[in-house]
Structure 1
Amino acid sequence: MRQTQEELLKILTDIGIEHTTHEHPAVFTVEEAARHSDGIEGVHSKNLFFKDKKKKLFLVVTLADKPIKIKELAKKIGAKSPSFGKPDLLMEALGITPGSVTPFAAANIKAHEVTVILDEEMMENDLLNFHPLVNTATTTIAPRDLIKFLEHCHKSPEIIRI
């Protein structure tokens, strides 16, 4: 069953993760999100959902302002000819819509194997910001708590320098 924003935030609270959520208008790109980041502490993210030619799924989470070269990234994560996951696959695998891609979607992963990749440089920051399953809010947590959440969802992430 697909989690709601409220259910996600309850999970975070129940497992002892300190978090702050800021509501804002719907955003669909990193650029749009940047317009609503004033007053939100921490770094912001870019979240990419890929499927490769072997049908392996990847959720890559990095810094919002980091340029990504898909071919270089593919080598680093072991993906063969990756392409962005289509909206129907995004909903099926992560239970979210385009514009809402987030590592918090690990709470929705049930039927698919999705490799979660976290950028080591992003994880070196004090606070991280992600959509709480919807693109009308931003939730701030500490990097260690992101790991704790992912492990709670049985998704041990790979941390690499992207």
Structure 2
Amino acid sequence: MDASSKFQDSLPISSDALLTQLDDWGIGYRLFHHVPLRTVADAKEVERDMMTPGETAFLTKNLYLRDRKKRNYLVTLDQDRDVDLKALGKALGVGGLSFGSADRLLENLGIRPGAVSPLSMVNGAKAGVTFILDPKAREADVLFFHPLVNDRTVAITLAELEVIFGHIGAEITWLPEL
């Protein structure tokens, strides 16, 4: 199975159910349907079609990581930011960061590789995943994230993400300077 909406019913929470929940909470967002995006390079091919003229956007890369003590992290960074796991671990005060397996990703965030997104904290908050966000998100008008599948993207504001996190019991930890 891939991370597209074709297989969303095999997830703990489907993309459709998440979008319905966002609607019920009164969250404002724009929804885009596109080819499955597996990499930042794939995303760059479709992002310009999602942008509103004059709008600043936070375009992301999302990393599911574990530390030496088996704690789980979802780190959302600007898509063009270079990542050094050793430096990232030092900034977070944790050691031995490595990428989590596909099985753990499904278990802890309820998604498949290619669909990692802050919106997966709808599952991750209950599993004790720590969410880390790049401060560059504060500079953007909108943030672009996958709603649990990689052939859809939502554009929301940081304020709306904070409202969502309030509903699901998640917190934003801001990435310290690297």
| TM-score, normalised relative to structure 2 | 0.86
Q: 1:153 and 1:35 mapped to 2: Cα distance?
A: 32
Q: 1:25 and 1:45 mapped to 2: Cα distance?
A: 17
Residue of structure 2 aligned with 1:19, choices 20, 29, 53: 29
Report deviation, 1:43.
2.5
Q: Which runs of 4+ in 1 moved over 2 A?
A: 109-112
| Superposition map of 1:1-162 within 5 A | 2-41=12-51, 42-109=57-124, 112-162=127-177
Report deviation, 1:109.
2.7
| Partner SS state of residue 66, structure 1 | coil
The more displaced of 45-54 and 102-111 is 102-111
Q: 1:121 to 1:110 in 2, by over 3 A?
A: closer
Alignment RMSD, CA only? 1.5
| Partner SS state of residue 46, structure 2 | coil
Q: 2:127 and 2:149 mapped to 1: Cα distance?
A: 20
Deviations 1:31-54 (A, max 9, x none): 111111122122211100001110
Deviations 1:7-55 (A, max 9, x none): 1111211112100111011111111111111221222111000011100
| Partner SS state of residue 18, structure 2 | helix
Q: Is residue 62–residue 119 contact of structure 1 (8 Å, CA) maintained in 2?
A: yes
Q: Is residue 121–residue 161 contact of structure 1 (8 Å, CA) maintained in 2?
A: no
Deviations 1:31-90 (A, max 9, x none): 111111122122211100001110010000111111111111111222211100000000
The more displaced of 151-160 and 89-98 is 151-160
Q: 1:24 and 1:16 mapped to 2: Cα distance?
A: 24
Q: Is residue 107–residue 153 contact of structure 1 (8 Å, CA) maintained in 2?
A: yes
| TM-score, normalised relative to structure 1 | 0.94
For structure 2, the 5+ residue unaligned runs are: 1-10, 52-56
| Partner SS state of residue 47, structure 2 | coil
| Partner SS state of residue 36, structure 1 | helix
Report deviation, 1:161.
4.2
For structure 1, the 5+ residue unaligned runs are: none
